[in-house]
Structure 1
Amino acid sequence: MERTVYALVRYPDCTAALDFLTTAFGFRAHEVSKDDQGGVSHAELLVENDMIMLGRGRTGGPGIYIAVADPDAHLARSRDAGARITMELTDQPYGSREYACEDPYGNQWFFGTYRP
């Protein structure tokens, strides 16, 4: 599958971020590049058929929305892994059931059933 758009999220500690994102959100590591000290400097994570790239750098900026089949179970998993829930599960007027959270570095993540 050829992709055109890749979401990129920056973290000061990509190793810890990779561990959090795979544990909390169920992302799968596709490619992981390490520096000379063995720390993760870049990673590509699969989310079903889509991809998110991690890079080393400052955090912040816009959030990322990801469609999931079961937002209730996904929220429980995220909360258990330490995500800070910023919006509890909400049934939106446009038909989506979704929630929002922050990872330990302040990046915004949104998960719900809406698929544009």
Structure 2
Amino acid sequence: MPSIAIPCLRYRDTPAAIDWLCEVFGFACQVAVPGIDGAIAHAQLTLGDGMIMLGSVSDEGEYGKVLVQPDEIKGRQTQTVYLQVNDADRVCERARNAGAIILQEPSDTEFGSRGFMCRDLEGHVWNVGTYDPWKPEDLFATNS
């Protein structure tokens, strides 16, 4: 089996985050393991052939000791998630209507894709666009 990279995110209100991500970006909740006091110990959301994993914020264990939430570091990020979509404008409007902060309005890139950037309800930054990284020939064909 090949290696696969899967982004992992933590949320204070993970059930609300799951609902939001499914409604706005079109993820499907594959599994959500309940934790203590309404927390989610582990969740897997799928979109096409991709997946993200979520969990509730916790200071327990080594994992909880190395992660902070965006609001704890003035909204800064150490990484973001790129989400490939067919219609960036439509997804941007859904995100805006669902309370996302749009950091970059939809725009065309020099290599022929269209995308935008937003913060979700807990401040995680999402880059959303039509660029399909599985088709790199598209990138090189427009830059030649």
TM-score using structure 1 length: 0.90
Q: Which runs of 5+ in 1 are unaligned?
A: none
**Taking structure 1 as reference, are residues 24 and 3 closer, same or farther at Cα in structure 2, changes over 3 Å only?**
farther
1:50 shift after superposition:
0.5
Give the fraction of aligned pairs with identical amino acids, expressed as a percent. Answer: 37
2:120 equivalent among 83, 88, 103 = 103
Please tell me the root mean square deviation across aligned C-alpha atoms, in Å.
1.7
1:4 shift after superposition:
1.2
Q: Is the 8 A contact 2:39 2:56 kept in 1?
A: no
- What secondary structure sits across from 2:19 in the alignment? helix
Count of aligned pairs between the two proteins: 116
Q: Is the 8 A contact 1:70 1:113 kept in 2?
A: yes
Name the structure where strand makes up a greater proportion of residues: 1
Q: Which residue of 2 aligns with 1:64?
A: 81
Greater relative contact order, per chain length (Cα 8 Å cut-off, separation 6+): 1
Q: Is the 8 A contact 1:71 1:98 kept in 2?
A: yes
Distance in 1, Cα, partners of 2:14 & 2:127: 20
Q: Which residue of 2 aligns with 1:22?
A: 22
TM-score using structure 2 length: 0.74
Alignment of 1:88-99 (within 5 A): 88-99=105-116
**Taking structure 1 as reference, are residues 3 and 15 closer, same or farther at Cα in structure 2, changes over 3 Å only?**
farther
